[in-house]
Amino acid sequence: MNNYYVYFLIDPRNNEVFYIGKGKKNRINNHFKELEKYEKYNKEETNEKIIKFSNHAKLDIMQSIIEDGKEIIVEKVIENLSEESAFVLEEILVDRFGQKIDRKGHLTNLLRGGNVDYFDTESNPIRTSMKVVRTDYPELLEVLKKYPNLNKTKYKKEQQIERQRQLDEKIHSLKTRNFLKEKKESSFTPTVTFNLNDNLKKILKKVEDELKTTNDKDMIRILNNRKELILKELNKT
């Protein structure tokens, strides 16, 4: 029977999908029943919750939303699916949005979705290809057009920004230390400049070494940005 659906749990504070699931009838309500029990165990401060609740990340977000006086947004992506089609769509969407657990996205899903044996921790089932979807599950094509790998792209950009921020902080720290030394000595000395340049050159060498060993396009772009920034700082001194 085609009585299955695929759904999102969305954080209203940033409109971010934090969980993707599939089910039928009142499956979605199970998350809220689970949250009630989770809150009870939190108040009792018992370690039993570690055993009883496996997806703490999902429940913590749900709890945080409610504590902020907001309502968790539940969105049914598509309805009237067979169980098999629902499994396939769940699997592809989880892959596209990316999971926190493997640092590829923001989803709190612990598993990749789909028809997976929850007790099989060793095998790595082959993901359903778009070629198979076009042939065997054409009813999913319209939905999948709406959700390309946007969140994974966003997550990569966030990682790039964070790496750039860390680099900026490191360079700023070096410049601050250099300034304090200059102030303490009341005059500029070649030794201080050398120390700053020496540290920057060490960072530059690490960046260049990483460039030689990586084939990842995003990482190459990040490293080249770092290199350019360091060279600018070296030219200033």
Whether pLDDT at 157 is above 80: no
pLDDT at residue 121, as a whole number? 44
Angle (CA) 212 214 217, round 5°: 120
Q: CB-side exposure of 114: number of CA atoms within 13 Å? A: 14
Percentage of residues of the chain with pLDDT beyond 90: 33
pLDDT at residue 16, as a whole number? 93
Average pLDDT over residues 109-127: 59
Structure tokens at 18: 């934090």
pLDDT at residue 78, as a whole number? 94
Given pLDDT bands bounded at 50, 70 and 90, which one contains residue 196? low
Comparing 72 with 161, the larger pLDDT belongs to 72
Contact 82, 5 (CB under 8 A): no
pLDDT at residue 103, as a whole number? 78
Percentage of residues of the chain with pLDDT beyond 70: 71
Tell me what the pLDDT averaged over the chain comes to.
78
Contact 132, 141 (CB under 8 A): no
Given pLDDT bands bounded at 50, 70 and 90, which one contains residue 221? confident
Whether pLDDT at 79 is above 70: yes
pLDDT at residue 212, as a whole number? 79
Phi, psi (degrees; rounded to nearest 5) at 205: -65, -40
The model's pTM is: 0.60
Contact 212, 154 (CB under 8 A): no
Comparing 38 with 119, the larger pLDDT belongs to 38
pLDDT at residue 119, as a whole number? 42
